[in-house]
Structure 1
Amino acid sequence: MTEGVQRKRVGTGERYDVFHSDCLARDVVDHGTSRWGIWVLIALRRNDLRFYELRESIQGISEKMLAQTLRTLVEDGLVWRKVEPTTPPQVTYGLTGFGRDIGEPLTDLFDRITQRLSADGTP
């Protein structure tokens, strides 16, 4: 079993040990595939969206959970945030290059699932 902390950056060509509990890559995977993280990444795949547009496009998410999820995805470098100095401030979110790389296979997974389900919801 690996001991110690994996929070340091690894060198070029090296990989993180994703099975280590303190692995940075593991955190990004956990956040990107969290209950709401995956829906944010999928919602932003085509267009940059403002906060309220994201909230309306992801049925069932509360404002608190959306704000928390966006904050985490911005910190992980998957989503960018732009604030326009208006009253009230307009905040727009979009995918970074890293977010697009992560979101693409999630979108493929989502598309495969929805294509395989029949109209009655059975595979």
Structure 2
Amino acid sequence: MTTPSQTENCGTGCGLNATLRIISGKWKPLVLFFLRSGPKRYGELKRSINGVSHKVLIQQLKDLEADRVLARTDYQEVPPRVDYALTPLGRSLAEAIIPLCTWGTENMMEVTNIFASRDRYPEQYEEKA
């Protein structure tokens, strides 16, 4: 069990910091989310994640593989066939993301309004020098 001082002092030893280091990047949480249902080929992932460029998706996949949350299987076939799947560590991380998905769904209207307000009046959100 963590004590308040452990959670308030979230330095390099903090679990949240470790998690954020793995999922940092706009697209990594979505990759993990879409791989929950099973292995996917690159094209399937690309179609699932609207707006991600080829270059960025490839880099995010390489990062997740290096962090051992994703496994890349190259079947050494012609034409090439490669798929991506979660490792056990990756599966546990993907499951931890589900409550964030639920929160986003439950608060979608309010969050949409917040972003619309930010877009209308960006000067309110700029830092004052």
TM over 0.5: yes
Q: Relative to 1, partners in 2 of residues 1:110 and 1:85: Cα closer, same or farther, differing over 3 Å?
A: same
Larger radius of gyration: 2
Q: Which residue of structure 2 lines up, in the alignment, with residue 39 of structure 1?
A: 30
Percent same amino acid at aligned positions? 30
Aligned length: 105
* TM-score, structure 1 as length reference: 0.71
Q: Which residue of structure 1 lines up, in the alignment, with residue 53 of structure 2?
A: 62
Asked whether the 8 Å contact 2:27–2:52 carries over to 1, the reply is yes
Match of 1:99 among 71, 90, 97: 90
Q: Which runs of 4+ in 1 moved over 6 A?
A: none
Tell me how far 1:20 sits from its aligned partner. Answer: 3.4
CA-based RMSD of the aligned residues comes to 2.9
Q: Which residue of structure 2 lines up, in the alignment, with residue 75 of structure 1?
A: 66
Tell me how far 1:112 sits from its aligned partner. Answer: 2.5
1:109 aligns with 2:100: yes
CA distance in 1 between partners of 2:19 and 2:54 (Å): 22
